[in-house]
Structure 1
């Protein structure tokens, strides 16, 4: 494309004006696409040539791991200049993912106050209020009036953009929030009125509040943001509804990728070695699990040799049972994420799933048993295959329902390990049930 040629020329000439003119008409997502298609060296050069504010817009639009990838190859001074232009929560996310030495080098180049703020925010987990909040808060003192707020809007309208339309929070001398003022009340109250006369008590959340509880509060109330307080009750920042929604979506996407054996927020612009290593983590473990399942078949070679038709039904039994088990896993994962199920609820969850396992197992067993009987003309083969599928469905649904809870209790990631464990168990149980039942009924099958 002609644009590609112009971009290459601008980079070769290190022409910052031409580069800015080329990228200016593009949306941020299109700019990211162009940058990720460049070599790492050209990508670093492009970000270095752009003004820090424009480069920060691009980095801020990128997914977290791509943002880190964009920053970590830059000169320290360039990286520090870009990061200083980011919102406080994005700054902390990016710095927190860098190598310690690189992060400290960048922080040393930043203003002491900004560096201290980033260190403070980086201490929080990414899925609690402190990790999701923006440190910037639209605050006023108890002695301020309505006129003070309106004058600030007029004289410094950048504040309103920076605070993304937050309601003004009133804090006392210690910095603790004591009230929140609606924008409607500000516009309908005389300018000389004290903020304390029109404020209402704020709904505050502790910095350690987990994502699920934040979601519950936003679901119950029409708030656009919530003030976050530290252990001393001092205002630490504001967590917005959009930040909570984005975090829920990001976590769901990450868990879905992990269930597919993709660890981390992989992007194809990342180094080949890193991407290959991440994928091999799951694939290598899966080899071991498949060998274990195959060993069950090897133990019944004589039965398979005598009744070849059984080999046709083995993958059907394991696959259909696995599908039933994955349904149970999905429900348990969802209830864990919503806080509706906890590791202590293992027995309750098992009872709920056992009923489904028995019911669906019976229906599926009858259906596949009839297929086997009609196809091969042997009712006993239908009994073996149908009985094995029915029993294995019960096993798969029971295991699928409780495995995420057990893994959670053991401190493991249920999104990563539930799938491989369920697959191995249903394969081994399915193969064992089919082959052992066939061995027991061999006189009626040959």
Structure 2
């Protein structure tokens, strides 16, 4: 029986044949995730040939189905003229996302070959942070003057129907002669009035809007409060510059969660896919791992300072990882609470003392409970109460330190404009390990004869 070909095997065969119509017909049968999966399994040469066979419009549709990181890699390898032609066909938000993932030299080369108006618009969008209204908005919207009539609007729709067919048109916006937003029209507002009626008589005046600098959190709150299909974006002079769709906000929220997860997992150079180049993937991981080597050397140096104590009471080696690990867990809980409260706006970086006061009480209580438990275990296991006092006391002290540090670090790093999600974890791990080793070994050194003498 003939084996069933995988989607990428079929795609590879169609690319070799070079028939663009058959290629598009087959890609249309695939879901966007399967399209991305199939294209990612092609060789670099096949990917380049695929994009070159398709028309710029069809190639742009394919690029919209794959992650921006992979799209950027594919486009960077193309002839600049071909790449510019394809990117011109992307929606403004997709265009900026792909350009942002490219090397600056490559993106500027492509922008220089694009239509001047499109290139200038893209450069303007690239100036915004990706997680604000300016970075999330689309520039494809329909705006008319207040003295235009319904007939003027309908004539414009008819004359530009092919171009507007790809727009996410949910509302019509009304602007003055200086492009300042003054009103909004819903589609059904145009159905019944006379066609000679001016838009100013039908529009909802002074519509809700957001500034181009509005952060992601406020955009999310806006769409949770208002069930709009889009919100107009204005600049500091109240001129309309774009529209933010709720889907774009939800997508960016999801991206931020993914980026945070990747960073906490040790992937700090950006998204990684197994189809990416070996050196690129290796570099993304080594950036984290090499830093951890240095941090662990610092923690291990404490053990070296007390190696005589450890050699005399080797039983302590069993409890060192337990003290550091338990304290690290307590510290990470405090980090999580601080990160969550920062994201919700429930705490500010300046409220450090308030956070420390709250965490200190939890740290003392949990430290005593955990210290008594581990101390009791050590005592029952070895029959030496002093070993229990050393181990339990070290865990109690280290729990307090880790909880205070875990609650404080995200606020301090946020104030220094560093990424709390990225830096908090390695710093916390290093300090809790170092302090845990120090507490156990220094306490043990103070009562070493009593531990050894058992």
TM-score, structure 1 as length reference? 0.93
What SS does the aligned partner of 1:107 have? helix
Cα distance in structure 1, aligned partners of 2:210 and 2:278: 42
Residues 1:267 and 2:267 are matched in the alignment: no
Residues 1:306 and 2:309 are matched in the alignment: no
Cα distance in structure 2, aligned partners of 1:11 and 1:240: 35
Cα distance in structure 1, aligned partners of 2:164 and 2:14: 36
For 1:46-445, list aligned pairs within 5 A: 46-146=50-150, 148-149=152-153, 162-187=166-191, 189=193, 191-200=195-204, 201-263=206-268, 264-445=270-451
What SS does the aligned partner of 1:143 have? coil
Call closer, same or farther: CA 1:222–1:439 in 2, change over 3 Å.
same
Call closer, same or farther: CA 1:159–1:38 in 2, change over 3 Å.
closer
Cα distance in structure 1, aligned partners of 2:366 and 2:301: 28
Cα distance in structure 1, aligned partners of 2:216 and 2:231: 13
Report the counterpart of residue 5 of structure 2 in structure 1: 2
Cα distance in structure 1, aligned partners of 2:237 and 2:9: 57
Cα distance in structure 2, aligned partners of 1:177 and 1:325: 49
Deviation at 1:117, TM superposition (A): 1.2
The question of whether the paired residues in 1 share the 8 Å contact of 2:367 and 2:396 is answered with yes
The question of whether the paired residues in 2 share the 8 Å contact of 1:138 and 1:166 is answered with no
Call closer, same or farther: CA 1:438–1:196 in 2, change over 3 Å.
same
Bigger Cα displacement from structure 2, 52-61 vs 26-35: 52-61
Call closer, same or farther: CA 1:179–1:429 in 2, change over 3 Å.
same
What SS does the aligned partner of 1:344 have? coil
Deviation at 1:392, TM superposition (A): 0.8
The question of whether the paired residues in 2 share the 8 Å contact of 1:137 and 1:238 is answered with yes
Bigger Cα displacement from structure 2, 395-404 vs 61-70: 61-70
Structure 1 gaps, min length 5: none
Cα distance in structure 1, aligned partners of 2:71 and 2:358: 43
Cα distance in structure 2, aligned partners of 1:335 and 1:24: 44
What SS does the aligned partner of 2:183 have? strand
Cα distance in structure 2, aligned partners of 1:190 and 1:369: 85
Query: How many pairs are equivalent?
Result: 446
Cα distance in structure 2, aligned partners of 1:281 and 1:77: 34
The question of whether the paired residues in 2 share the 8 Å contact of 1:59 and 1:70 is answered with no
The question of whether the paired residues in 1 share the 8 Å contact of 2:145 and 2:177 is answered with yes
Superposed CA offset, 1:85-113 (max 9, x none): 11112112222332333223322332222
What SS does the aligned partner of 1:320 have? helix
Cα distance in structure 2, aligned partners of 1:78 and 1:114: 16
Deviation at 1:190, TM superposition (A): 5.3
Root mean square deviation of aligned Cα:
2.2
Bigger Cα displacement from structure 2, 24-33 vs 336-345: 336-345
The question of whether the paired residues in 1 share the 8 Å contact of 2:272 and 2:281 is answered with yes
Deviation at 1:309, TM superposition (A): 2.0
Cα distance in structure 2, aligned partners of 1:259 and 1:332: 15
Deviation at 1:252, TM superposition (A): 1.6
Structure 2 gaps, min length 5: none
Report the counterpart of residue 15 of structure 1 in structure 2: 19
Cα distance in structure 2, aligned partners of 1:182 and 1:373: 75
The question of whether the paired residues in 2 share the 8 Å contact of 1:385 and 1:434 is answered with yes
Call closer, same or farther: CA 1:355–1:184 in 2, change over 3 Å.
farther
What SS does the aligned partner of 1:343 have? coil
